[in-house]
Each structure stands twice: as C-alpha cells, then as structure tokens.
Amino acid sequence: MQSNKQHKLLQLLTLSLMAIVLLTGCVSEGGKPNRPVDKAKSLELHIKLAQGYIDRGNRESARHHLRKAAEINRNSADATETLARLYQLEGEPELAEETFKKAIKAKKNFTLARNNYGVFLFGAKRYEEALEQFELAAADIEYTDRASALVNVGRTALLLGKNERAKAALEHAAVLDRGMADAHIELADINFQKQDYAAAKQHLDRYQALGQVTPRSLLLGIRLERVFGNKDKEASYLLMLKNRYPYSREYLEYKQTMM
C-alpha cells in the first residue's frame, strides 16, 4: 500500500515538473520565453523527486534529479541533505556524515536534516550522538514530523537505559499523532515490562486498530492474554504467529521459552 502511494506521488511530482518545463518553454513571436523559469519551484520538485526515489531505493533516478537540482542551485541545503541520504543508501558512511553536517551548517534550524542525521547515527550504533540529534529535532514544535522524532528519541533512550525519558517521549508522540503506531507498540512493551498489563493491553489494542500486525506484536499479545487468562485469544495470536511468521525470531522465542 505504502509503495503504491509513493509511486503515485512520484508520478504527480513528475507531471508537475513537466508542466513547469512546458509552460516556461513556450516562446513569443520575438523568440523569448513567455514566462520566466520558476527556478525555486523546479528546484523543490527535483529535490522531492530525488527523495522519493531514495525511499524506493532507486539510486540512479535520485542522482539524476540531484544533478538537476545542483544545476539550479549548487548551494541548496535541502539538496545537500538529500545527497547525504543518497550516500547513506549507497553505503558511503563517511561521505554521508560529511554531507549531513554540511547541510546542517548551511541552514539554520534544519530539523529534517538533524532527524535524518540521527537515523544515520542510530544505524551506526552511535546512540548517544543519535539521541542528541533526535532531541534537537523533537524540540522543534514547528517540525511537521515531530511525532516521529519523538519516537526516535524514545527508541534510542531505551537502548541507553534512559527508560523514563523514553516513556515520556513516546507518550508525547502518541498525543501529537494518534495514528503513530510505532509509539503504541513501544509503549505496550514498556508497560508490559513494568507489569502494568492494563496499559500494555490498551496500547497494543491501539496498535492493532491502526492495522498493524508484526511478529513482535503477536508475541506480546500471547504474553498479555496469558496474563489475563484468555486462552482463546492467546491461541488465536499463536496461530497467527505460527502461520504468518514461522521463521521469525519471535516464534522461535515462543517455542524456547513459553511452550
């Protein structure tokens, strides 16, 4: 489903870019363009297309649009940040980090770059540094993806043993965006570990109501229903885990510790 949405968005952006080219390409009788080229809009569309192709793993198309963006404005901080993500996709960590830092330096309060740089650092298991970037991103109340940044704070804080900060960040994310499924599965797990089973069940139910089913959620469901003594529901979760994810780490864990 998400892939189809991304594909449709890329098609729409491509059509928008083509419209700009066609409109600015029309000439008057004197041989001059009827309209000036909207360079700012063209730059924005090339960057968005590059970002979309990066999300889909299409490196060549992403690079093509970044080249076009550079022809319009070689110093664009947004294009630089997107290039950093491309380097990350291509397995060039040193270039990626250097370029993320360049983008952050080039644009004041570049929250998107900080969040994505945090993702890069998290992937490199540099959790303290990642948490610093995520905290800066989450502190920006104008950031449109602030809930995701807070989830990143929560997950990183958990790995660092900062459990109270993790819980607070995830609860904040769930308030900002009720559809933030990632916050609910993390909170379900945290509350289960704290033996607050009622709260864990509420968050797991919310996670599932958002259409999410993963090996992790199914195993947690099995454990919760066992606590509540609901054998039918426990068996239902187990059947789903066994049939859908027979080779998952979670099913192996179930067989080793719960059978």
The structure tokens listed for 11 are 């098609």
- Specify the residue for token string 């070689």: 74
- C-alpha distances in angstroms, 226 versus 187, 215, 223, 243, 256? 19, 17, 5, 20, 16
- pTM comes to 0.84
pLDDT in tens, 173-227: 999 999 999 999 999 999 999 999 999 999 999 999 999 999 999 999 999 999 9
Judge contact between 84 and 100, C-beta under 8 A. Answer: yes
- C-alpha distances in angstroms, 78 versus 37, 48, 112, 217? 20, 9, 9, 36
80: Cβ contacts below 8 Å, ≥ 6 apart? 99, 102, 103, 106
Taking the C-alpha atoms of residue 240 and residue 237, their distance in angstroms, rounded to an integer, is: 5
pLDDT in tens, 45-91: 999 999 999 999 999 999 999 999 999 999 999 999 999 999 999 99
Taking the C-alpha atoms of residue 204 and residue 200, their distance in angstroms, rounded to an integer, is: 6
pLDDT confidence bin for 8, thresholds 50/70/90: low
Least confidently predicted of 26-35, 127-136, 206-215, 240-249: 26-35
pLDDT in tens, 220-255: 999 999 999 999 999 999 999 999 999 999 999 999
Judge contact between 76 and 69, C-beta under 8 A. Answer: yes
pLDDT in tens, 138-180: 999 999 999 999 999 999 999 999 999 999 999 999 999 999 9
Taking the C-alpha atoms of residue 254 and residue 249, their distance in angstroms, rounded to an integer, is: 9
pLDDT of 106 higher than 90: yes
Go through the chain and tell me how many residues it has.
259
Checking 3-10 for CB contacts under 8 A at 24+ apart, the result is 3/56, 6/52, 6/55, 6/56, 7/56, 9/52, 10/49, 10/52, 10/53, 10/56
Taking the C-alpha atoms of residue 109 and residue 13, their distance in angstroms, rounded to an integer, is: 26
